[in-house]
Amino acid sequence: MATPRLRTRKLSEPTISRLPVYQRIAEGWMRRGMVRIDSRQIGELAGVTATTVRRDLAGLGSIGTRGSGYDVKVLNDRIAEALGHDRDYDVVVVGIGNLGRALVNSSNFLIRGARLVALYDADPTIVGTIVAGHVVASINEPMVAATVGVICVPPEAAQQVADRLVAADIHALLNFAPQVVNVPLGTAVHYVDFSIELQILMYHLNNGTGPLGGGLLHSLGIATPSPLRGS
Amino acid sequence: MATPRLRTRKLSEPTISRLPVYQRIAEGWMRRGMVRIDSRQIGELAGVTATTVRRDLAGLGSIGTRGSGYDVKVLNDRIAEALGHDRDYDVVVVGIGNLGRALVNSSNFLIRGARLVALYDADPTIVGTIVAGHVVASINEPMVAATVGVICVPPEAAQQVADRLVAADIHALLNFAPQVVNVPLGTAVHYVDFSIELQILMYHLNNGTGPLGGGLLHSLGIATPSPLRGS
DNA sequence: GGATGTGAAGTAGTTCACAGCC
DNA sequence: GGCTGTGAACTACTTCACATCC
C-alpha cells in the first residue's frame, strides 16, 4: 500500500461515531446503484443536519465535488480508511450464548478489517461445536493472540473473562455484559448496553422531549457505550 | 407520597445517557450491601469526572447529602423516576433469532418499567415455540397494542416490520437491524448498531488517540446519541 | 472535616452564512 | 445554478473553584 495518508488529523468523538453511519448509507446507495449523494440526503438518512455532515466529511480531506455532492464509492473508501478498516484486526469472542452467536453470525458485526479468529465458552455442551465456521474452544484453554476481545458472558463472569483476555495480551475489549470491569492501564474497554437505548427511548416518550417529540422524524441513536475506569 | 415529582425539568442528552450507567452502579452497590456512595466513586466506575456526576445528579433535585455522598437506594429510585421507570411500558419484539432471543432472555434488557407483551417471527419453525414465557406469534397475525417495538430482523425485512409496527400504532421503535427505516412523522426510531462500537474501538486503536491512547485508562465513551431531523 | 450543589470560566461541538469551485 | 468547504457566531457541555450545608 502506498498508504497515502494519515493526514486525518484528529477527528472529534461525535464525528467518529457518525462516520460508520455515513458509511453504511454509502454502502446502501452503492448497492442500489446510485453514484452520487449530497450532504442533505446523507443528513436526512443519518438524522443530522447537512452542515454537520459536511463538517464531518471535511475532516477526511476534500472528498466532495462542489455542485454535485459526494461519490459514494469515494465516500465509502475514505471513511473506511479513516476508521482504519484497511488494517486487519483479529477478534476473539468469549461467551457463545444467544448474543455471542448473534454477533458472529451477523453480517454486519464483523465488518471489513475485523477477522474472527477464535470463540470460547465455558459450557461443555457448547465447547466443541462449530459456530460461524469455528470450533468453540473451552475458556480454560490458552487464548490465541488477537487485537480485540468481545465479552458476551453473564455479568458474574465478565471480570474473570476480562482478566483472561488481558493476560493473553489483548488490550481492547468490547464488553456486552452489564458489568463494569477493572483492567490495567493501557487497556481500553468499551461497553455496549442494550437496555440503555431502551431507557433513553422511554425517557423521551415520557417527556415528549427530544428526538421523539416535536415533529422530529427519527432519532439516530447509534450505540451506547459506556465508559469506565479502573480502580 | 410527598414525592416532589416531575420537577425534573429538562435533562441534557449526555446526562440522560449517563443516568442509566449511574443507576447500574447504584444497583451493584446495593447488591453488595453498601449504603452510601460519593460522586468520585461513581465517576471512577462510570468513567467520568466527579463534577460531571454531581451536575447530572443535581438535575434530579437535591438527592445527596453534603459531607457524605449519596444514598444508593435514593439514587436508584430518583434515577428510575427521572427516566420514567415508574410508568409501565409494553414492549413487543419482532424477530426471534439469536439476537431477539438474547434480548428477551437477558436479565438486563427489559428493565423495570418495560414489560414484554408479545413476540413475533416469520419463520414457521419458530412460530408457536415458547420463548421467555411467551408463545411466538406469526408476523402475519395482528399486532397487539404496545408502546415500544423492537426490531431484530435481517436488514431486508426491517422496513416492512417497521411499517407493520407503525400500522399497529406503535410509535417508538428500537431498531437493531443495520438498516435505516422510514417512518411517519411522530414516530421515533432509535438505532442500535454493534459494529459501530467495534469500529470506534478500531479507530482509537489505530490512532492511539482518545480513550485508548495517551495515558488514559480506558474509555468512557458514553454515549453517542444523535439527533435528527425529519425529512 | 468532607462532599454536595452551583455560579463562572473554559472548551467542544453545532449552526449560520457565504466564498469558492464545478 | 448548485453544493461543498469553512471562518465566524452561537449553543451546549464540561471543568473549575468555592460557598453551603451536614
For chain A, give every domain's residue range: 13-84, 89-194
Is A135's pLDDT higher than 50?
Answer: yes
To which residue does cell 454502502 refer? A27
Is A229's pLDDT higher than 80?
Answer: no
> What is the average pLDDT score of chain A?
85
The answer to whether the Cβ–Cβ distance between B217 and A46 falls below 8 Å is no
**pLDDT for res A10:** 83
Please tell me if residue A29 touches chain B, with a CB cutoff of 8 Å: no
From chain A residues 159-178, the ones with a CB under 8 A of any chain B CB are 172, 174, 178
How far is C-alpha B24 from the chain's CA centre? 12
Average pLDDT in the A58-68 region? Answer: 94
B188-191/B64-65 β-pairing:
unpaired
The conformational region for residue B40 under phi > 0 = left, psi -120 to 50 = alpha, else beta, is alpha
The answer to whether the Cβ–Cβ distance between A225 and B197 falls below 8 Å is yes
**pLDDT for res A108:** 81
> Are A95 and A153 contacting, i.e. CB atoms less than 8 angstroms apart?
yes
Q: Which helix (H) or strand (E) holds B66?
A: none
A172-175/A188-191 β-pairing:
parallel
Please tell me if residue A13 touches chain B, with a CB cutoff of 8 Å: yes
The answer to whether the Cβ–Cβ distance between B228 and A206 falls below 8 Å is no
Of the pLDDT bands very low, low, confident and very high (cuts 50, 70, 90), residue A209 is low
Closest Cβ opposite residue B201 in set A103, A190, A194: A190
**pLDDT for res A208:** 66
Q: What separation in angstroms does the CA of B145 have from each of B109, B142, B165, B167, B170?
A: 20, 10, 9, 10, 7
The answer to whether the Cβ–Cβ distance between A49 and B185 falls below 8 Å is no
Give the class (CATH, top level) of B13-84. mainly alpha
Q: What separation in angstroms does the CA of B217 have from each of A118, A230, B47, B94, B172?
A: 26, 7, 9, 39, 36
Compute mean pLDDT per 10 residues along chain B, 231 residues long, and list them.
51 94 93 95 93 97 95 96 88 96 88 90 97 97 95 94 96 90 85 88 76 33 28 26
CA A117 → C1' D14, Å?
A: 40
Residue nearest D14, CA–C1′ metric: B52
How far is C-alpha B192 from the chain's CA centre? 10
Is A220's pLDDT higher than 50?
Answer: no
Smallest CA-to-CA distance from A188 within B43, B19, B17, B47 is with: B47
Contacts A216 to B, Cβ<8 Å: 185, 188, 227-230
**pLDDT for res B111:** 79
**pLDDT for res B9:** 66
Is A211's pLDDT higher than 70?
Answer: no
CB atoms closer than 10 angstroms to residue A41: 18
**pLDDT for res B128:** 97
**Residue A134 identity (one-letter amino acid):** H
Q: What is the pTM of this model?
A: 0.85
Contacts B126 to A, Cβ<8 Å: none
**pLDDT for res B12:** 94
**pLDDT for res B188:** 87
B172-175/B148-151 β-pairing:
parallel
Please tell me if residue B16 touches chain A, with a CB cutoff of 8 Å: yes
For testing contact with chain A, the best of B31, B187, B197 (most A CBs within 10 A): B197
CB atoms closer than 10 angstroms to residue A113: 19
Q: Which residues pair with A70 in a beta bridge?
A: A37, A64
Of residues B1 and A121, which shows the higher confidence score?
A121
Tell me how far apart the alpha carbons of residues A169 and A146 are, in angstroms, rounded to a whole number: 8
The domain B89-194 having CATH identifier 3.40.50.720: the answer here is: yes
Please tell me if residue B187 touches chain A, with a CB cutoff of 8 Å: yes
Provide the percentage of residues in chain A whose pLDDT is more than 70.
Answer: 86
Tell me how far apart the alpha carbons of residues A138 and A143 are, in angstroms, rounded to a whole number: 9
